[in-house]
Amino acid sequence: MMFEANNHFALLGLPVQFEIDTDTLQSNYRKIQSEVHPDKFVTASPAERLQSMQSATLANEAFQTLKHPTSRARYLLQLQGIETLEDSNTAMPADFLMMQMEWREAMEDAQLAKDITALEHLLSTMKNEAKAMQTVLANAIVNDPNTAAQIVRKLSFIDKVSADVQHIISRLED
Amino acid sequence: MALLQISEPGMSAAPHQHKLAVGIDLGTTNSLVATIRSGMSTVLQDEHGHALLPSVVRYLPNGEIAVGHEALAQQSKDPVNTIASVKRLMGRSLQDIVDRAHIPYHFVAGDDTQSMLQIETRAGLKNPVEISAEILKALKVRAEKALGGELTGAVITVPAYFDDAQRQATKDAARLAGLHVLRLLNEPTAAAVAYGLDNASEGIFVIYDLGGGTFDISILRLSKGVFEVMATNGDSALGGDDFDHRIYCWILDQVRANTQQFNPLNEEDTRLLLTKARQAKEWLTDNHEAEIVCKLSNGHLVEATLSASTFVELTQHLVIKTLSPTRKAMRDAELSIEDIDGVVLVGGATRMPQIRHAVEEYFKQEPLTNLDPDKVVALGAAIQANVLAGNRSDDDLLLLDVTPLSLGLETMGGLVEKIIPRNSTLPIARAQEFTTFKDGQTAMSIHVVQGERELVSDCRSLARFELRGIPPMAAGGARIRVTFQIDADGLLSVSAREQTNGVEANVVVKPAYGLSEDAIMTMLQSSFSAAESDKQARALREAIVDAERLIDAIEVALAKDGALLSTEEQQAIKAELQALKTLCQGQDSHAIHQASEALNHATEAFAARRMDASVKQALAGQDLNTLDL
């Protein structure tokens, strides 16, 4: 099962699609870890301990990938043979470029003003923007993978700016 | 009445009797050992009824070593040879210890600036791993006396915010003390286990753990026996000691104001005032003011009255310092204050009223203190030790812990490329591909660092290694895959492999913090008495113990899941089993090692099949169409 399963969805007992039941994801993940986690094999043979570490690592990888919408979508596209290529394909529509410039500026202004509330506000703005994009993903992945890949690139970008904002907040709070 | 069964001499009565496993809280100030007795987690006491063993080691003039209360009692008289709070020095180099002017030891740098410091004592140079091992040995003796047998293994707790070097050093100390480490367990997680099981709690809990020298904050989700760490943060150099130190500085100011005397204190006086400071801190937990009276070695009488409000003022910045990691952990877990179902206080330092107030104010709820904050970590560790040793049959406890610090590599310009982000659930592996910078480049140097900062110089260096034997190619032609694996103890190993043209250069590196395997072996050798020092006899005994452990594990697996194997496969494994058993009767440790490896190798496919079968069973009841893709 661990290694027979040919993708993360199969491993975690979920249908291969963007919309998932997060409760099932969570509970199946826990069921699998209850079987394979290294804590269950402390007194076992080295072969079993190695197997356990690999299986538990794989279960964590699968769970993390499916838990987050961006990585879940990216993974679904990979299963169709489509790489999202965030690093090399940086072409974005003009309206999104405008939006990201505004975010960057807002971030820098708030950083200079040490304004945590403004940064928090920016975070929630980006979160809402990301949510709006996610609603069209399920359909796009199936019917228009190239558009879906573009959305994933946008979401990755939002994730990255959000992480930068989080980092600034935690530095300001020190 | 049923007849009692007595087994033949030399034969064990039952193949799976209760294993003697303990949980050890190796603390900065005090250490404890606990075990499960009649289903209850219990802290073991010494012959005087003390549960806490002061984490103090004294090297005596007669060559003996005193640990605990006896050492603590002589601390002021013999400060240079009496080592306290050694945990703060674990895995640390001399340059890591910023405040050493106020620590009365004779520090000596390690072999180079990166390696672990040493302390000059009358028994010679001692490193923190050796000193910690003395504390662990004392706890091992206490446990074996109380339980009447040799320990199968121990779970040892470490601060969640300990880095790789500090974890590795702790594991080495256990090895030096002759303890088999079942698992290194994060202290707040241990506390959550004790607390959660005791109260049958469900929900999201914060563990605020302020010990003698370390501060940890962990946020866990408790649900049906699964303890899932959502985020952890902390400061591995902040604890109750720092509060003592603030009082100590205050006393010095008083002395100087009254006497105009500015001579530096000698080691005895420093230790004396630090002890008085600690006593004043403890007194102020239940009182409004503390009288500090003592006589310095020059005959000067110190008299001062410290009010609770002055103490709060003196230490306010320390209290605030704990809230910054708290906010970070909350942010990482993506939670707000209303999501928190309970806050558990752990560590003796959380007895200070200003800490309780600060926690209550931040979380807007009264913290839970129904378990003794000094004992809760050891109690939880004992529960986990019992589970890991295989004593608990109802498998309903699972801990999913995280790595506290991000892990990365040095890239061009001294910048850090993050590979594994902090708060990733363990175990975890991440691979990253690299390529060469110059034409014909045949070697690559890899520098692994741990920490959250962007610059390599601001992070902790864990390992440097070189990958050689890359086939010469044009720049950017080679494909080097570097894999980082962090195991369930939070310990890292790194492997690198060149994968073009089928040429393989493969290395596996375990980060070192200054103690090499050789250095540990030397310490191990010298720690055994002359009668035991026979290397070969020792090697043989170790080989047999390991082989017996393996035989036992495989026989259990065969008995349970033999049906997963064909008759031929079963016979092949049984033949290897028999061969190893025969060798264990002999004297050849090398042959026993080889046969053990052969047996282990023969069971690899069996291990994989068992794992698959158990996962399949766990997910049974699912829609089969979604499973068989």
- Name chain B contacts of A34, Cβ cutoff 8 Å: 226, 395, 398, 618
Q: Do residues B108 and B118 touch, judged by C-beta distance below 8 A?
A: yes
**Cβ neighbourhood burial of B628 (10 Å; 0-12, 13-18, 19+):** exposed
Q: Does B343 fall in a domain?
A: no
Coil, strand or helix: which one is B494? strand
* CA–CA distance, A54 with B491 (Å, rounded to integer): 15
Distance from CA of B393 to the nearest CA of A (A): 11
* Integer angstrom CA distances of residue B449 from B97, B414, B464: 19, 11, 9
Task: Indicate the residue of B183, B553, B619 with minimum beta-carbon distance to A44.
Answer: B553
Q: In chain A, which residue's Cα lies nearest the Cα of B484?
A: A57
Mean pLDDT of A121-143: 93
- A131–chain B nearest CA distance, Å: 16
Q: Mind telling me how many Å the CA of B51 is from chain A's nearest CA?
A: 28
Task: Find the helix or strand (DSSP H, E) in which B331 lies.
Answer: helix B308-332
In chain A, where does the domain assigned CATH 1.10.287.110 lie?
8-67
CATH number of the domain located at residue range(s) A94-173 in this protein:
1.20.1280.20
Residue B8 makes CB contacts below 8 A (sequence gap 6+) with: none
Which of A37, A57, A169 is facing B429, going by the closest CB pair? A57
Residues of chain A positioned with their CB less than 8 A from the CB of B553 = 43-45, 48
Cβ of B424 and A38 within 8 Å?
A: no
State the burial class of residue B91 (Cβ atoms within 10 Å of its Cβ: 0-12, 13-18, 19+).
Answer: buried
pLDDT tens sequence across A93-120: 888 989 999 999 999 999 999 999 999 9
Per-residue confidence (pLDDT) for residue B502, from 0 to 100: 57
pLDDT at position B525: 67
> Based on the domain organization, do B549 and B426 belong to the same domain?
no
Residue B384 and residue B460 in one domain: no
- Residues of chain A neighbouring B328 (CB-CB closer than 8 A): 170, 173
Domain CATH code at residue B444: 2.60.34.10
Phi, psi of B577 (to 5 degrees): -60, -50
At B573 the pLDDT is: 94
Q: How far is B555 from chain A (nearest CA, A)?
A: 10
Chain B environment of A55 (Cβ under 8 Å): 611, 615
Asked whether residue B35 falls in the same domain as residue B180, the answer is yes
Residue B415 is encoded by which pair of tokens? Answer: 């910048």
Say if CB B571 and CB B518 are below 8 A apart: no
Mean pLDDT in each 10-residue stretch from start to end of chain B (629 residues)?
A: 44 58 96 93 94 97 95 92 94 81 82 80 94 97 94 95 92 93 96 86 94 94 92 92 94 82 78 93 95 88 93 96 93 94 95 96 94 95 93 78 92 88 94 84 86 88 80 83 89 80 60 69 62 68 88 92 93 94 91 93 92 86 43
CA distance linking residue B283 with residue B291, whole number of Å: 9
- Is B604 within 8 Å of A51 when comparing Cβ atoms? yes
For residue B346, being part of any structural domain is answered with: no
Chain B residue at shortest CA distance from A24 = B622
CATH number at residue B84: 3.30.420.40
Amino acid at B560: K
Which residue among A30, A43, A48 places its CB closest to the CB of B389? A43
Same domain, B168 and B26: yes
Catalytic amino acids of B? 25, 87, 187, 209
B195 with B87, same domain?
yes
Residue B184 lies in a domain: yes
Looking at the structure, do residues B412 and B482 belong to the same domain, yes or no?
Answer: yes
> Which chain B residue's Cα is nearest to A62?
B428
User: Which pLDDT value is given to residue B531?
Assistant: 47
Residues 6+ apart with CB under 8 A from B75: B56, B58, B82, B84, B271, B275
How far apart (Å, rounded) are the C-alpha atoms in residues B232 and B325?
8
Q: How far apart are CA B146 and CA B160, in angstroms?
A: 29
Complex-level ipTM: 0.90
Separation in Å, CA of A27 to nearest CA in chain B = 10
Q: Which fold has domain A8-67?
A: Helix Hairpins (1.10.287)
Q: Which residue of A has its CA nearest to B624?
A: A13
Q: What pTM value is reported for the model?
A: 0.88
pLDDT of the residue at B190: 96
How far apart CA A169 and CA B233 sit, in angstroms, is 15
- B73 and B163 in a common domain: yes
Structure tokens at B628: 């068989």
State whether A1 and B616 contact (CB < 8 Å).
Answer: yes
Tens of pLDDT, residue by residue over B525-578, are: 665 544 455 667 778 888 898 899 899 999 999 999 999 999 999 999 999 999
- Strand partners of residue B368: B344
The rounded mean pLDDT for chain A is 91
CA-nearest residue of chain A to B421?
A: A163
Residue B313 has a pLDDT of 96
Determine which of B222, B611, B616, B623 to mutate to test the interface with A (most A C-beta atoms within 10 Å): B611
Q: How many CB pairs under 8 A join A and B?
A: 144
On whether both B564 and B495 belong to a single domain, the answer is: no
Residue A73 tokens read as 């979508």
CB A163 within 8 A of CB B313: no
Q: Kindly state whether residues B602 and B486 are assigned to the same domain.
A: no
Task: Mark whether B76 and B150 lie in a shared domain.
Answer: yes
Nearest chain A alpha carbon to B609: A1
Task: Quote the CA–CA distance of B399 and B376 in Å, as a whole number.
Answer: 16
Quote the tokens at residue B420.
Answer: 């594994």
User: Looking at CA atoms only, how far is residue B579 from chain A in angstroms?
Assistant: 17
Residue A52 has pLDDT above 50, yes or no: yes
Residues of chain B with C-beta less than 8 angstroms from the C-beta of A39: 183, 384, 387-388, 398-399, 488
Within this chain, do residues B45 and B135 fall inside the same structural domain, yes or no?
yes
Same domain, B505 and B553: no
Contact list, A53 vs chain B (CB under 8 Å):
427, 485, 487-488
User: Looking at beta carbons, which residues of chain B come within 8 Å of A169?
Assistant: 331
CA distance B547 to B593: 8
CB contact under 8 A, B553 and A45: yes
Give the CATH number, domain containing residue B604.
1.20.1270.10
Res B311: pLDDT: 96
d(CA A8, CA B491): 26
The range of the structural domain enclosing residue B554 comes to: 534-618
Q: Does residue B586 lie in a domain region? A: yes
Number of domains in chain B: 3
Among the partner-chain residues B324, B398, B554, the one whose CB lies closest to the CB of A39 is B398
Q: What is the pLDDT of residue B113?
A: 63
